[in-house]
Amino acid sequence: MKCPFCGYHDTKVIDSRPSEDKKRRRRECPKCQKRFTTYEVVEKPTLIVYKRNGSFEPFNRQKLIRGLQKAIQKRPVSIEDISALVDEIELSYANAMQTQTNTKEIGDKALAGLKKLDSVAYVRFASVYKDFSDVDSFIDIISELKK
């Protein structure tokens, strides 16, 4: 690690501890004696999403959260629950070292998570995600929920 003060290329780790999914390290430069803090983070592979229109784009966590927030509007589901669901989805791809997926797979995982959290939010998300065009689609998904 290069010292940010004098540019010396060899610093010494004084203290190391975990901090919010990171490793916090206090370092000292043997040349100028100044101390500084660094954070070590595990780099996750970039997840590329294949969209319905045939294009590719990087996974956008905020986009998924916005869609799920619309589904949970005025429901007893917290934003922390939604954030945890998106974390779980992202982690499943990172753990599998998968770098490509499609919107259908992400939507299915989101639906499965919502099904556990709130049935009304599940139906709302499903109606947009699966592009319901008639009442029968709603009846089918509600019948599936009752089973």
Whether 38 and 92 share a structural domain = no
Whether 36 and 105 share a structural domain = no
Characterize 71-92 residue by residue with b for buried, 16 or more Cβ atoms within 10 angstroms of its Cβ, and e for exposed.
Answer: bbeeeebeeebbeebbeebbee
Inter-residue contact 50 to 101 (CB < 8 Å):
yes
Tell me what pLDDT residue 13 has.
96
Q: How confident is the model at residue 143 (pLDDT cuts 50, 70, 90)?
A: confident
141 pLDDT above the threshold of 90: no
Distance CA 145, CA 140 (A): 9
Inter-residue contact 114 to 64 (CB < 8 Å):
no
Inter-residue contact 39 to 89 (CB < 8 Å):
no
Task: Provide the number of structural domains found in the chain.
Answer: 2
58 pLDDT above the threshold of 90: yes
Whether 91 and 116 share a structural domain = yes
Give the tens place of pLDDT for each residue, 63-121: 999 999 999 999 999 999 999 999 999 999 988 989 999 999 999 999 999 999 999 99
Domain that holds residue 17: 1-42
Tell me what pLDDT residue 137 has.
82
Whether 52 and 36 share a structural domain = no
Lowest average pLDDT, out of 19-23, 51-55, 121-125, goes to 19-23
Whether 17 and 64 share a structural domain = no
Whether 17 and 69 share a structural domain = no
Whether 37 and 108 share a structural domain = no
Whether 54 and 119 share a structural domain = yes
Nearest one of 73, 70, 44 to 59, comparing CA atoms: 44
For residue 104, what is the enclosing H or E element?
A: helix 103-117
* 8-state DSSP, 41: -
Inter-residue contact 45 to 97 (CB < 8 Å):
yes
Whether 78 and 94 share a structural domain = yes
pTM over the 0.85 mark: no
38 pLDDT above the threshold of 90: yes
Whether 92 and 119 share a structural domain = yes
Whether 17 and 56 share a structural domain = no
Distance CA 118, CA 116 (A): 6
**To the nearest whole percent, how much of the chain has pLDDT over 90?**
73
Q: How far apart are the first and last CA of the chain?
A: 58
Whether 142 and 120 share a structural domain = yes
Inter-residue contact 105 to 131 (CB < 8 Å):
no
